[in-house]
Structure 1
């Protein structure tokens, strides 16, 4: 996506591949999105609290839309959602129009090599996608995190090269994942996670889910999983 703040009027055709709401004391602070264009390029977009009422009924995950007239700022901070240098901000003057749907298989899923996580090639500044077969899993545990009791589950994944990657899943997602694993216990389980964090502790690297952002699925019907299952 060739965008920059040097220009003030933009028009892009995109698919919303991830959408979630940020809450504070039960009110919506913002709506966050990851957008993808027909070339597979992705960018983070935000709907601020001031304009949430204008746009919230017009945007849903999976929608294909045309966005017209929005602002851009430098993308920064930890755990960035995309590698695009800029971030989109919807404003009161932004217009959203319908457009033909993007292909169903255009999901933005690009799983990384486990070796590049473990050897430090990949920067923890960015969220990543992973895929691997579950070879070990613990029971759900309750641990204290920032003064609150929180569920977690630990897994070990292996990729097509038999490289092993530790994964920790926190919160309600841990409960849902544990239940799904038990339900599908008679099958080989391939775990797909989008937008996960790389964690570094005492020079050891692992991955975990990012609150509200990460998406986990088991044996989803996608080409990458079908190819992995045939190995």
Structure 2
């Protein structure tokens, strides 16, 4: 489904702040994952800015089918709050909050980058120059994996796996 939306009513990621409620924005969904008690999404706007979004568990059934990776959507009637997540995956200080009244509309028109990769050189990572980046993308091969470790951290169990990667160059 495609709709016509007045682009003057749409905000960009860097316009978003908690001072206003009920925002409207066009974005591409570049990542989505479900943590059971909440769903997390990474959005990128046409200017290339990224922001994290969160959906509480009771609203996941409402929105899960409407939000697919790589889809372009117009989000309407959502809120913005501080991103207080322990492990942030984007630099933006705020986070999109979905409400029961939030509307997700699929659209086709997209003028921005597709994936929003943040590639870093192996040397930058090894020398600690990528430590300030919350997440980075690398091209390489996984050469070994450690065991899956579990940690009981209420309200959920946390799992961790260490692995070694090799530069393809």
Aligned equivalent of 1:75, options 64, 69, 83? 83
| Counterpart residue number, 1:165 | none
Question: Structure 2: where are the runs of 5+ without partners?
Answer: 1-12, 152-158
Deviation at 1:105, TM superposition (A): 6.1
Deviation at 1:112, TM superposition (A): 1.3
| Counterpart residue number, 1:15 | 28
Evaluate the alpha carbon distance shift between residue 156 and residue 49 of structure 1 in structure 2; reply closer, same or farther with a 3 A threshold: closer
- In structure 2, C-alpha distance between the alignment counterparts of 1:80 and 1:151, rounded to whole Å: 16
Evaluate the alpha carbon distance shift between residue 15 and residue 144 of structure 1 in structure 2; reply closer, same or farther with a 3 A threshold: closer
Q: Map 1:160-199 onto structure 2 (within 5 A).
A: none
Evaluate the alpha carbon distance shift between residue 121 and residue 35 of structure 1 in structure 2; reply closer, same or farther with a 3 A threshold: same
Q: Map 1:1-231 onto structure 2 (within 5 A).
A: 1=13, 2-23=15-36, 29-102=37-110, 106-123=114-131, 126-132=134-140, 134=141, 137-138=143-144, 143=147, 145-146=149-150, 154-158=163-167
TM-score relative to the length of structure 1: 0.56
Deviations 1:148-196 (A, max 9, x none): xx99674342265xxxxxxxxxxxxxxxxxxxxxxxxxxxxxxxxxxxx
Structure having the higher strand fraction is 1
Deviation at 1:117, TM superposition (A): 2.0
SS of 2:58's partner is helix
Evaluate the alpha carbon distance shift between residue 117 and residue 67 of structure 1 in structure 2; reply closer, same or farther with a 3 A threshold: same
SS of 2:125's partner is helix
Evaluate the alpha carbon distance shift between residue 80 and residue 155 of structure 1 in structure 2; reply closer, same or farther with a 3 A threshold: same
Question: Structure 1: where are the runs of 5+ without partners?
Answer: 24-28, 161-231
Deviation at 1:54, TM superposition (A): 1.9
More divergent stretch after superposition (107-116 vs 81-90): 107-116
Higher Rg of the two aligned structures: 1
Aligned-residue CA RMSD in angstroms? 2.9
Deviation at 1:19, TM superposition (A): 0.9
- In structure 1, C-alpha distance between the alignment counterparts of 2:84 and 2:104, rounded to whole Å: 25
Evaluate the alpha carbon distance shift between residue 30 and residue 77 of structure 1 in structure 2; reply closer, same or farther with a 3 A threshold: closer
